[in-house]
A and B are shown apart, each in its own frame.
Chain A
Amino acid sequence: MPLLAVSDYSKIFEIHHLGRQIPVFQHLTFDLMAGQFLLVSGPNGIGKSTLLRCLYRSYLPSGGRAIFDSSYGKIDLARASDIDILTLRNEEIGFVTQFLRPRPRVSALELVAEPLLGSGVDEGEAFEQARDLLLNFGLKEDLWDAYPTTFSGGEQQKVNLARALVAPRRLLLLDEPTASLDISTRESLANRLGELKDQGVAMIGVLHHPEDVEHLIDDTIELSSIAVHANGVVGD
């Protein structure tokens, strides 16, 4: 039984002030098993990140289904209530993006510990795990208590990865996680993802450098403009 069964999945952006509908992908169908790594490939601007954001529900999918086998039972991520999506984000589905929007005046360590604190882990344990992971990703120790708003892109990225990977998840959506990382951090990330995969975590990844995680990839879906235009519902 797949952890995630996506069928007939579509996203159409409707831009009201232009009076236009912009289809991104349509009738997308794929399955993902626990412990599987699915690479989403295709040229820039084809909608790879859009697919991840739809699954995480930062974007509202326009149609189709994404049946997720949660610990609460099956639930359609395309139509689940907002409050259920929030629970799944807190407990089961993680999103790793290249962009961090750190809250001002919150230290790196607190940002990383937050997902654990939010799910009821006690402070000592949460900060312990946060330290381990920051160490793992090679963020210099004297930055742990500093505010990431002042960090360089690469340093912010380490904080962001640690935050996204600190709490246990069944499904991880990886949106260019390696984009601005140095080689050694890319290696620690790949190692971490490998460990998680061995534990049964399923992953869908959009990666600029898929070779970083090549040994983890089980399957690839290719988004192409042909698939989009074949069903073209272009507004104008």
Chain B
Amino acid sequence: MTDTLSHDTTANVHPTLDAPIINRVPPLVVARNLTKYYGSIKAVDGVDVVAYPGEILGIVGESGSGKSTVLRLLNLEEATNGGVYNLQISGLTNTNLFELDRFDKRDVRVHHIGIVYQNPHLGLRMRYSASGNVAERLLITGERTFRTLRSKSNDSLLASEFPLDRVDDPPSVLSGGMQQRVQLAKAIALQPELLLLDEPTTGLDVSIQATVLDTLKRIQRLRTITMILVSHDLGVIRTLADRVMVMRNGRVVEQGLTDQILEDPQDPYTQQLVHAKL
């Protein structure tokens, strides 16, 4: 810990913070120096992500800031150009997940990470039934009994507050909000430690958005899943996130407690972003 006595009261408008001293539980997610280039464009340029068990970490930024790319890197679905990624999960603690082969990556993804995309086409088979989409996830673990598959996928759909009288409908005939609930049910079916949410409510009607956010909050409380939520919508971030990182041009410009970032932003860019909110 740095010596607080030496801290100058007038010169330093942005004091740096101490390391945690109350929370001795190690973070679930520690990613250092995440880097991703697309040609000459640095989409993600040396980003660190630390998320503690059970918290909701928000990542906010404009289109093209690199926030969704960070999420895809954390989901091990894109090759990285550098960085170290650890999950505090037994058997994996000292593994840089980026260095796993693609079968082991898939294994980590299936068992420990769930993801909900803005676009349901990325996460769902639109012509399978809702419960079939969720059951597919369960099949990966080797479960083959129809009854068990059906009941487990219904549990998960129920937790996502999906109406059970519609479990046989394919996502293609469901509303946007319902499709997101199917994605969510699929993502949490195997009880992952980490849930990644990429603009999960963007494009939904405001009233539907509120109920989906509420479902997410309930799931976080009841299942203590760690969530990383990417959104350009400061209202969504305020509703859900405990802490938030602000990204711009592939870098993190500021991070802090959500209310502090929204009410007392320190960085010039964050000040603009917050003041631009309607």
Q: Could you tell me which A residues sit within 8 Å of B by CB distance?
A: 8, 10, 12-17, 21, 26-27, 53, 57-65, 70, 72-73, 75-76, 78-88, 101, 103-106, 117-118, 231, 233
B9 and A60 within 8 A (CB): no
Q: Which residues of B contact A21 (CB under 8 A)?
A: 13
A103 and B210 within 8 A (CB): yes
Q: Which residues of A contact B17 (CB under 8 A)?
A: 79-82
Q: Which residues of B contact A8 (CB under 8 A)?
A: 9
The interface bits of chain B over 248-268 (1 if a CB of A lies within 8 angstroms of the residue's CB, else 0) are: 000000011101100110111
B9 and A105 within 8 A (CB): no
Determine how close the nearest CB of chain B comes to the CB of A233; give it in whole angstroms.
6
B14 and A26 within 8 A (CB): no
Interface of A is mostly: mixed
| B22 interface residue per 8 A CB criterion | yes
Count of chain B residues with a beta carbon within 8 Å of a chain A beta carbon: 42
Determine how close the nearest CB of chain A comes to the CB of B237; give it in whole angstroms.
13
In the complex, 16 of the A-B residue pairs with CB atoms within 8 angstroms, ordered by the A residue number, are: A17-B271, A26-B10, A59-B264, A60-B14, A62-B12, A64-B7, A72-B21, A72-B22, A78-B4, A79-B17, A80-B17, A81-B21, A87-B22, A104-B207, A105-B210, A105-B211
Q: Which residues of A contact B210 (CB under 8 A)?
A: 103-105
Chain B CB within 10 Å — which of A53, A59, A70, A81 has the most?
A81
Q: A15-B271, A57-B260, A86-B257 are in contact. Are A79 and B221 (CB under 8 A)?
A: no
A87 to B221, CA, bound (A): 15
Residue on B with the closest CB to A86?
A: B242
| B52 interface residue per 8 A CB criterion | yes
Q: Which residues of A contact B213 (CB under 8 A)?
A: 103
| B19 interface residue per 8 A CB criterion | yes
| B239 interface residue per 8 A CB criterion | yes
| B165 interface residue per 8 A CB criterion | no
A84 and B22 within 8 A (CB): yes
A86 and B10 within 8 A (CB): no
| B214 interface residue per 8 A CB criterion | yes
Contact partner, A60, options B4, B19, B264, Cβ 8 Å: B264
| B20 interface residue per 8 A CB criterion | yes
Determine how close the nearest CB of chain A comes to the CB of B166; give it in whole angstroms.
20
A53 and B4 within 8 A (CB): no
Q: Which residues of B contact A62 (CB under 8 A)?
A: 9-10, 12-15
A82 and B264 within 8 A (CB): no
B256 and A76 within 8 A (CB): no
A79 to B15, CA, bound (A): 7
The 5 closest A-B CB pairs, nearest first, are A63-B9, A16-B268, A104-B210, A59-B264, A81-B20
Residue on A with the closest CB to B14?
A: A60
Contact partner, B21, options A61, A80, A101, A106, Cβ 8 Å: A80
Q: A84-B22, A103-B239 are in contact. Are A17 and B264 (CB under 8 A)?
A: no
| B101 interface residue per 8 A CB criterion | no
Determine how close the nearest CB of chain A comes to the CB of B52; give it in whole angstroms.
5
Contact partner, B266, options A60, A75, A82, Cβ 8 Å: A60
9 further A-B pairs in the complex, CB-CB below 8 A; given A57-B257, A80-B22? A13-B264, A59-B260, A60-B256, A60-B264, A63-B8, A63-B15, A81-B23, A83-B243, A86-B55
Q: A57-B257, A76-B4, A105-B211 are in contact. Are A12 and B13 (CB under 8 A)?
A: yes
A117 and B9 within 8 A (CB): no
A79 to B213, CA, bound (A): 31
Residue on B with the closest CB to A13?
A: B264
A76 and B268 within 8 A (CB): no
A15 to B270, CA, bound (A): 11
